[in-house]
Structure 1
Amino acid sequence: MYASFTSEQTSDGTPLSDSSYPAFNPLATDQPFADMSSSSHPSEPLDSSYLAQGTAAESQSFYGATVGHGDIQPPVAKTTFCCNLDRVLSSLPRSTFRPLVVNVPLDKQAQPAITIVDAVKTSEVGGGSYIAYVIRTDIPSQNIRYESRHRYSEFEALRSLLSRIHYMAVIPPIPEKHSIGDYATKQAKAKEDKAIIEKRKRMLQSFLNRVATHPLLVREHVFHQFLEDPEATWSTILSASEHANLGRRKDKSPISMLTDKRNLDIPDPHFVASEEYTLKFSAHIAQTHKHQKKITKLQQDVAQQLAELGAVYNGWSLTEHTLAAALESVGAATDTTAAATGQLAKSLEEAVTEPIQEYVQFSGAIEKLLRWRHTQHCEYESTIESLTSKEGQLTRLEASEHEAQRLTAVLNAEGSWGPARPPSPVPNSAGASTEPKGGILKTLNSLIDNDPEATRRNNISKLKDRITHLKEQEKVTLQELNIGNEQVQKDLDRFQRCKIEDVRSILLSYAIAQRDYHRRAAAAWSDAKIDIEQIHSGSS
């Protein structure tokens, strides 16, 4: 996803022209992490002239760092830890929590260190009930074994808090809430439906293990307490944390406050390519998920129909003599095929469809993340536009002031005393001044600029103050943009490495499930074939 290419050539040395730029797949890479960096430095500014040049920059990548994005470096290793679990989690390899799929049956694959071992119906004080998911963290090599219980809403709250703290990171998804369709078909029992609970167990388990492999999220002490304390509820965990205020208030993270996307005057071609690829990836993964769900449902229906057909063959065999053995064998093979098809549907649901669903949700999270980065860039451009406008106004006002001073000098040189002062009010016969005391004349007089020179100088002073403020704002927004670019890029690179590994596991799981299904069915039908061949035509 985040391969680095120079503007002159690709990784294999092939020349890269500007016209060929969009054709490359930014996500198609398995480069090591150390190779995904540019020659830029974190302190370098985001130069608009560089953006205008597009791919003509010295070091430009599709999803690697560009000028102003900062060097891509792994997170700094921790030297201090908030608790023992923090120390352990930080020292373990990714495979502890996301074991690679190997060439053995899917039910014999290694289990992650964090598992959800049960879902228990729990009564509330008010008379209601909820499903509590039992989380077990088991790391024998480190003498770690914890159990805790949390309901779905607490997982949701944990993810929400992580997304507010680390809004520049790709936060792992959790299973979606029950749909209206779930409540319509299952009514009040939707929350207690066994299939829904089992799916949530698997996907919530995946969420916890993905957090444990994220270099930033795994450091949060709220996550450690979520796994450690068997009695703690989310409210007590949050109250004791440094993020208590953040967790209680309404979601106002930068990601949640995104507005409509506006066009950039000088877009960053690097992130434009990222956005375009993400849209394509989202479309592909959504279509894959849609059809995989249909296939799984079809396989479940086929398994049911085969089971019924097997029963028919077995019943038929009871009424025959010569055909009995063959019919019974066909019935047994059909029953085996039904069981194998059901197992195939289950395996594909758990090992293929659900992980693909996670990536459907991941794609949406990445779209939001890139949109946030786009908004940061818009703010920087808006500040530049305001600064340019104000500097233009100042130039015009200073030119007017210079011209006024020149005219004054000319008039003084000719003996003039400048503009005539307005006559003093003439008292009337009663000794009162004729100056208007109110009404329309007084209002009009207040609107007349009686001292344009002072007004002009006052405006110049205000403009200079505003320009000074905008220059400071420009530095701040540029720094925020550079930091955002760097942090977003780091997490996109991390996500890509995980994605490649996950897609490998999904495809290998697909192949293993299909292989084991066909082996089982083929063995059953090979046995049936022997009995069928024993049928002698013409026998009564």
Structure 2
Amino acid sequence: YCCAVDRALHNPSTPLSLVSAAMVGGNSGTPHIEYTIRYGNTTLTRRYSEFAALREALVRLHPACIVPPVPEKHTLVEMAEVRARGREDWMLVERRKRQLSTFLRRLARHPILATEHVLHRFLEPDVLWTTIISEEPLASLPRLSGSQRISLVPHGQGLLAPPLPAIAGTPQPKHPDPRFRGAEEEAERFHKALRDSVEAPHRRVSRKLGDMAQTNAELGAIYNGFSLSEGAGAGLALERVGQAVDASFISGQSLTTALESGVGEVLGEYGRFWASVTESLGWRRSRHVRVEMLAAALERKRAVLTELEGGNLGVERTSRPYGITRTPSSPESSTSASLSPSPSPAAVTAGSSTPPPSSRTKKPPVPTLRPPPHSHPRRKGTGIFGRLAGVFQGMLDVDPETTRRDHVGKTRNEIILLERELEDASDQLDRANAAVLQELDRYHRLRARDLRQWMLAYSKIHATWCHKNLKMWEEAREEVERVESFP
């Protein structure tokens, strides 16, 4: 364990939960709600914005992980209604408190996120969130290179990989992996089925149960009023019926609250879980798109190299029959060598001890009337024409063979760099695939367990509601049966 908080999180006998919520800062500063966290003998308070910032930091630190969602923020309409009423909507606060408590418990049970020291610092008392984001690894996270590899350590020790730089739009790979394509389609189907076939009908049922509870409250008052105007037998029976109706009102409210906390919140949480799953799959998809982009760039460079090498071979085949050979010399030297006349006798004499035959009988030759093209100094032009002539002459002096050879070398170096980058990106993609598949498997097992639990909770809540109502209505029936019938 890296610290005392890490040891406490891995201790099954140390529950982690939010125990209370309180409004603070009413007189000095902006009023806000602080939630009290307790685990073992440690107690601390955090704001909702700090919970949201913690989740965002975990997503950036572990993009392959499916980070549990936090409850949504209050909408402007909800805040306006709360301020118009002049009081805080504590039902909304209690619901958010339960959801944030579920968020922390899911983090504590996660095999990778539970070992993240940022979470441990978040759970340390008297540590400000501004202090946490100024420390490592959050302080250097924006400066991390996007090509850093995923560090997936066995036994869930950590998964650190910064997301790749954002690519314009939402690119899709040309050759998607069928495993993850199927995972994306399955997640979308589950989200739509949960939203349209389960969550929407559940909300309608909860709303109708709440309306029925209010109707029972009014009906119970009417029965209780009738009991005062009747005789002993009928009045007592009407009073029992009124009490049974009142009990239906109370149990109906309890049923609505229990369904909201035990079923509705779970359905809403898995609706937000869908966004977490798509975040993880989208991050992996960006790695896949990166590999395909590098492979396409490598193929283009190889095609350019093939074309350049083919041009070199064509030039050699064309030059060979004429006895022309290319040497890696400068343009000036090659031009001078091809245009200069035969060497003078004086130059030959200087290079050899035996003078040429003509030098024994003849005088030294008179300098030729047509000197070599480069023997006299080039007249410098003036004005714009002179500058254009210089530029044109420079263009003519460029050796195309040297240029082509430099281009071939540069292209080969680019291909080597692209091959290394593609190998590194492919290795990152393999690691990302393994990490995301592991997360998807864990998420599916967690989802199956949670769905089983909330279905059992739904059945138990209804069974409890029915038993309470049955007991009260049986007592009312016994009292009604004692009333003497009219002749």
TM-score, normalised relative to structure 2: 0.80
**Which of 445, 453, 456 is matched with 2:401 structurally?**
453
Once residues 279 and 256 of structure 2 are traced to their aligned partners in structure 1, the CA distance between those partners, rounded to angstroms, is 33
**Which of 228, 231, 241 is matched with 1:318 structurally?**
228
Matched, 1:473 2:421: yes
Tell me the CA shift for residue 518 of structure 1. 0.9
Which amino acid is the alignment partner of residue 58 of structure 2? L
Taking structure 1 as reference, are residues 380 and 432 closer, same or farther at Cα in structure 2, changes over 3 Å only?
Answer: closer
**Which of 244, 247, 251 is matched with 2:139 structurally?**
244
Matched, 1:367 2:278: yes
Taking structure 1 as reference, are residues 519 and 271 closer, same or farther at Cα in structure 2, changes over 3 Å only?
Answer: same
Residue of structure 1 equivalent to 2:214: 304
Residue of structure 2 equivalent to 1:530: 478
Root-mean-square deviation over aligned CA pairs:
3.2
Taking structure 1 as reference, are residues 449 and 374 closer, same or farther at Cα in structure 2, changes over 3 Å only?
Answer: farther
Kept after mapping to 2: 8 A contact 1:427/1:433: no
Kept after mapping to 1: 8 A contact 2:226/2:238: yes
Kept after mapping to 1: 8 A contact 2:5/2:123: no
Task: Return the structure number with greater helix share.
Answer: 2
Matched, 1:218 2:128: no
Residue of structure 1 equivalent to 2:102: 206
Tell me the CA shift for residue 319 of structure 1. 1.4
Instruction: Report 1:247-396 matches (<5 A).
Output: 254=163, 257=166, 259-287=168-196, 288-321=198-231, 323-396=234-307
Kept after mapping to 1: 8 A contact 2:164/2:286: no
Taking structure 1 as reference, are residues 473 and 237 closer, same or farther at Cα in structure 2, changes over 3 Å only?
Answer: closer
TM-score, normalised relative to structure 1: 0.72
Which structure 1 segments of 5+ residues have no match? 1-80, 97-111, 139-144
Taking structure 1 as reference, are residues 464 and 332 closer, same or farther at Cα in structure 2, changes over 3 Å only?
Answer: same
Which amino acid is the alignment partner of residue 527 of structure 1? E
Q: Give deviations 1:326-347, integer Å, cap 9, x for gaps.
A: 2212211111111111111111
Residue of structure 1 equivalent to 2:323: 412
Once residues 343 and 198 of structure 1 are traced to their aligned partners in structure 2, the CA distance between those partners, rounded to angstroms, is 15
Tell me the CA shift for residue 262 of structure 1. 2.9
Tell me the CA shift for residue 245 of structure 1. 4.1
Count of equivalent residues: 428
Taking structure 1 as reference, are residues 189 and 459 closer, same or farther at Cα in structure 2, changes over 3 Å only?
Answer: farther
Q: Secondary structure at the match of 1:379?
A: helix
**Which of 184, 194, 210 is matched with 2:80 structurally?**
184
Which structure 2 segments of 5+ residues have no match? 145-160, 326-333, 341-371
**Percentage identity across paired residues of the two chains:** 32
Which amino acid is the alignment partner of residue 328 of structure 1? E
Once residues 183 and 114 of structure 1 are traced to their aligned partners in structure 2, the CA distance between those partners, rounded to angstroms, is 29
Residue of structure 2 equivalent to 1:44: none
**Which of 432, 438, 441 is matched with 1:484 structurally?**
432
**Larger Rg belongs to:** 2
Once residues 446 and 113 of structure 1 are traced to their aligned partners in structure 2, the CA distance between those partners, rounded to angstroms, is 81
Once residues 195 and 164 of structure 2 are traced to their aligned partners in structure 1, the CA distance between those partners, rounded to angstroms, is 22
Tell me the CA shift for residue 357 of structure 1. 0.9
Q: Give deviations 1:12-41, integer Å, cap 9, x for gaps.
A: xxxxxxxxxxxxxxxxxxxxxxxxxxxxxx
Instruction: Report 1:58-77 matches (<5 A).
Output: none
Q: Secondary structure at the match of 2:46?
A: strand
Q: Secondary structure at the match of 1:192?
A: coil
Kept after mapping to 2: 8 A contact 1:282/1:364: no
Q: Give deviations 1:270-312, integer Å, cap 9, x for gaps.
A: 1111111111011112222233233223222221221121111
Residue of structure 2 equivalent to 1:34: none
**Which of 106, 113, 119 is matched with 2:21 structurally?**
119
Q: Secondary structure at the match of 2:18?
A: strand
Once residues 408 and 458 of structure 1 are traced to their aligned partners in structure 2, the CA distance between those partners, rounded to angstroms, is 20
Which amino acid is the alignment partner of residue 224 of structure 2? N
**Which of 82, 103, 126 is matched with 2:2 structurally?**
82
Once residues 449 and 267 of structure 1 are traced to their aligned partners in structure 2, the CA distance between those partners, rounded to angstroms, is 52
Taking structure 1 as reference, are residues 465 and 189 closer, same or farther at Cα in structure 2, changes over 3 Å only?
Answer: farther
Taking structure 1 as reference, are residues 376 and 147 closer, same or farther at Cα in structure 2, changes over 3 Å only?
Answer: same
Matched, 1:512 2:432: no
Kept after mapping to 1: 8 A contact 2:141/2:162: no
